[in-house]
Amino acid sequence: MGGTEKKLLRALAGETLPVPPVWMMRQAGRYLPEYRATREKAGSFLDLCYTPELATEVTLQPIRRYGFDAAILFADILLVPQALGADLSFVQGEGPRLSTVTSAADLARLKPAEAVHETLAPVYETVGRLREELPSETTLIGFAGAPWTVATYMIAGRGTPDQAPARRLLYGDPATFEALIDRITEATILYLSAQIEAGAEVVKLFDSWAGALPGLWFRRYAIEPAARITAALRAKYPEVPVIGFPRGAGAGYLAFADAAGTQGLALDTSVDPDWAAQALQPRLCVQGNLDPLLLVTGGDALVRETRRVAEAFSGGPHIFNLGHGITPEADPRHVEIMLETIRAPRQ
């Protein structure tokens, strides 16, 4: 496998490294001119996701440019709902649009979880290509959206500020809501299993809207599905770590660390690194959590805050990352400065 030489896998196994492994969420994206050129060539965002040659190319672009310690598969969390039978499109400047699931009748029209492979086969081909083409020291990360976050889009048909449509279904028709979460969870286990079979060495669960779950429901719909997915994957692939990202969880990060079973925990920008180093890092490898806006503004603040995050987590297993995805407005040169700061010898 050669896994022991890969810094990201070493950190996820609990090793404290003198220089942490580094990658960025959305590192293959619109801040890079080479990405924009490939995206134009693809014709549409979904065509880019489903064309293995082009999806492989955009995944490799930030590795060539920056030498990150990990590459994350280029795809989208909403490919799973599409594979389950939802209509999906992306509106320029406005984001995704999906057909909605708001009743038992809507749920009955979805495909069974096992049907996802038919639609998602090109994604698995991309994973296989990447595993062959990545440098030997670079870890390949697969991913999926966590069930609650995927459900919020399937219920509302789009992103919403507070996920009120999903919460309304949870309260008003709990049987349908629960069945939808179960369907997504089953599909996600199958999807991530296939990514691992194709060559993914780590998988990540993005629960981007975990913070919108009321506290009483966070354990049931953020932690429990993550625990179910992680347990199923670890039973089949014990050597493949799972990173959880319950963004916006606040105090819920502690419960997630204790109960979800993941080997890594990604932290959003709101989490205080000093608190996380004391409360979370003794339990598992933490990932994060520089503010992405610093890659737009640059300057002394970028260097200072990069050092602060790296130093706060220097006493335990840590993967340096952002607290959310890099934005299209980020300056590629600022990414270089961030990496130089992280990798500079400590004084």
Q: Which of 10, 31, 35, 39 is catalytic?
A: 39
Q: Which of 30, 158, 220, 307 is catalytic?
A: 30
Amino acid at position 69, single letter: D
Q: Which of 31, 35, 124, 153 is catalytic?
A: 153
* HEC profile of 141-190: EEEEECHHHHHHHHHHCCCCCCCHHHHHHHHHCHHHHHHHHHHHHHHHHH
Q: CA 155 to CA 160: how far, in whole Å?
A: 10
Q: Which residues pair with 243 in a beta bridge?
A: 204, 264
Q: Which of 26, 183, 228, 247 is catalytic?
A: 26
Q: Which of 69, 76, 207, 268 is catalytic?
A: 76
Active site residue 30: yes
Please report the sign of the dihedral spanned by the C-alpha atoms of residue 185, residue 321, residue 280, residue 282: positive
What's the token pair of residue 8?
């990201």
From residue 21, alpha-carbon distances to 37, 91, 138 in Å are: 28, 35, 10
Active site residue 171: no
Please report the sign of the dihedral spanned by the C-alpha atoms of residue 160, residue 93, residue 326, residue 65: positive
Active site residue 182: no
Q: Which amino acids are annotated catalytic? A: 26, 30, 39, 76, 153
